[in-house]
Amino acid sequence: MTTRAEALARLTAAGEPYELVEIEAIGRRVKAFANAPPTLRELYATTRSDQTFLVYEGERLTFEETWVRACTLAHALVEDFGVRKGDRVAIAMRNYPEWVIAFMAATSIGAIAVAVNALWQPDELDYGLSHSGSKVLIADRERIGRATRGGERALAIPAIAVRTDDLPQGARAWAEVMARTPHSEMPEVDFGPDDDAIMFFTSGSTGHPKGVVSTHRGVISALLSWELDAKTAVFVGLIPAPDPEAPQQAALLGIPLFHVTGCHNVFLMCYRTQRRMVSMYKWDAAKAAELVERERITAFTAPSAVTGDLIAEAARSGHDLSSLSLVGGGGAARAPEQVRAIAKAFGKALPATGWGMTETNAIGAGIGYQDYLDHPESSGRCSAVLELRIVDEAGKVLPANARGELQVRGTSIMREYWNRPDANAESFVDGDWFRTGDVAYLDPEGYLVIVDRIKDVVIRGGENIGCGAVEAALQEHPAVQEACVYGVPDARMGEEVAATVYATAPVSERELQAFLEPLLAKFEIPRFIRVETQPLVRGATGKILKREIRKSVIESMTEPAGRG
């Protein structure tokens, strides 16, 4: 049987489509795909076709129609708004087709596409626009409203308003901007693989969000890395080779496009692989199930809570979701129970997940198919264009199974945090190793297991309790879709373990504590558990805002923790 290492060596050898070569890029020595498109503009241009690409409610656009609209907008940005190479173009809206068109236009003229968190409120949006120095804002009705200032509803920068006729001072309607003569080619702008392409924001759980800037090569290396993983899975026999005569595949967009997973893993991968991308106004499990059945969706990538919603809806509604062949995840580890439930709920669907960050362009480690079922606690093995290592507090590299800080380097790593030299200096060590802030270990076979965030522990009576382990145990309960574990003050023990969970079925604090008894040491079982019936609050990158949840719980407690 061919091993993964043997398959990778064969698929990345000289002369192969996924040939890897060592190069110098943005001052780092990295492994790069020799045959990769040099820029996102070339990626779009070489995958034009008359197949359907974007599906939103009653709207359908082909790849060619999307390309022409992006070219037309690109000319407007250059000729009407004066956008030049290196300028920032902010995009703030729901998962509309216009988001995709705006991203394509900006990244095709050497500008930097700034993916603004659509959930930001006015102060946060104002910070994001001013910090990035964006030259123009492309936004829908809600975001245009949040970006206005003063009684005259004036905008700080020029804007293009999407899907609204309510135009504040400084905004032009999308329809007016796009009414110009259509173009089928992009404006001539000279830029290359190592020029900046995107700026996405971190969650900002401490202080202001940081703008993560990546190059065209960084983004494209992530896309080809996923393709290589799929080719490797075929090579080693985990999945059958794709049928060239099969109908066009389709992906359901269950993640905001301002997350790198939604943008890269769904949108850009659909472009590369000529899949339809089906989006919704907002997440709705019943609507999603209908779309899977009607559009014959083959791939779905979403956080564990959203996947849990779809699993529950499949059981409730009886919709035929058998077209699904792949259910991906990311952002946070799935409970092993959900990993096993995916195949049961969707028939032939196999699970996949991975570890990645905004700073790594969503790649790092990946796992799927039977390999994931065999290692449900793991985030997979390292991408071929990256290196992973585990180090102790002194920076010494640790052996297999030893827990320490996960560090990563390679082609897809961001260039920098925008205008944050302090954060850059803190985040990079030994030249080009990026500090992830995750506690993890690599097993002898190279499988990555994320244990916790650094210092994300509860110290109870001198015992260090890893929050991640308690969260994973809570998520083994069939009713629990999300879990957030933290410490609350205790007069006797210093801290007690507490948790907030999102449950999709009635369950009490005592039932959950009893469920945990065979899974955790007694001192690890949360003394206090708050059960919520809605998904837990998350930041810009989809991570649960643990500090906010903990603060709310402490403020609401009517008696001090620490009974007994």
| Distance between CA atoms of residues 186 and 146, nearest Å | 31
Backbone angles phi, psi at 524, to 5 degrees: -85, -20
Among candidates 220, 327, 277, 223, which has minimal Cα distance to 51? 277
Residues constituting the chain: 564
Quote helix, strand, coil % in the chain, to nearest 5. Answer: 30, 30, 40
CA distance 202 to 311: 29
Q: What is the pLDDT of residues 505-518, one digit of tens each?
A: 999 999 999 999 88
C-beta of residue 457 within 8 angstroms of C-beta of residue 464: yes
CB contact set of 352 (below 8 Å; sequence gap of 6+): 326, 327, 328, 329, 366, 367, 368, 369, 372
* 493 confidence band (pLDDT: 50, 70, 90): confident
Mean pLDDT of 292-319: 89
Phi-psi label, residue 153: left if phi above 0, alpha if psi -120 to 50, beta otherwise: left
Above 50 in pLDDT, residue 71?
Answer: yes
Give CA torsion, residues 524, 530, 536, 537, to 10 deg.
-100
CB 319 within 8 A of CB 297: no
Q: Is the dihedral of CA 545, 548, 549, 551 positive or negative?
A: positive
Sign of CA pseudo-dihedral 286, 288, 290, 292: negative
pLDDT, one tens digit per residue, over 329-356 is 865 667 777 788 887 888 888 899 999 9
Report whether pLDDT(563) > 50.
no
Q: What pLDDT was estimated at residue 489?
A: 87
Half-sphere exposure of 104 (CA within 13 A, CB side): 27
Confidence (pLDDT) at 216: 98
Asked if 344 and 375 touch (Cβ cutoff 8 Å), the reply is no
Task: Answer whether residue 562 shows pLDDT above 50.
Answer: no
CA 386 to chain centre: 18
Q: How does DSSP classify residue 120?
A: -
> 265, 257 in Cβ contact below 8 A?
no
Residue 4: closest CA among 538, 306, 488, 369: 369
pLDDT given for residue 461 in this prediction: 66
Residue 564: what pLDDT?
37
Q: Token pair for residue 369? A: 């198919």
CB-side neighbour CA atoms (13 Å) of 474: 34
* Environment class of 105 (CB within 10 Å of its CB; exposed 0-12, middle 13-18, buried 19+): buried
- Burial (CB < 10 A; 0-12, 13-18, 19+), residue 305, is buried
Mean pLDDT of 107-128: 92
Give the DSSP letter string of 354-386: EEE-GGGTT-EEEEEHHHHHH-TT--BEE-TTE
Q: Which of 2-16, 185-199, 202-216, 251-265 has the lowest mean pLDDT?
A: 202-216
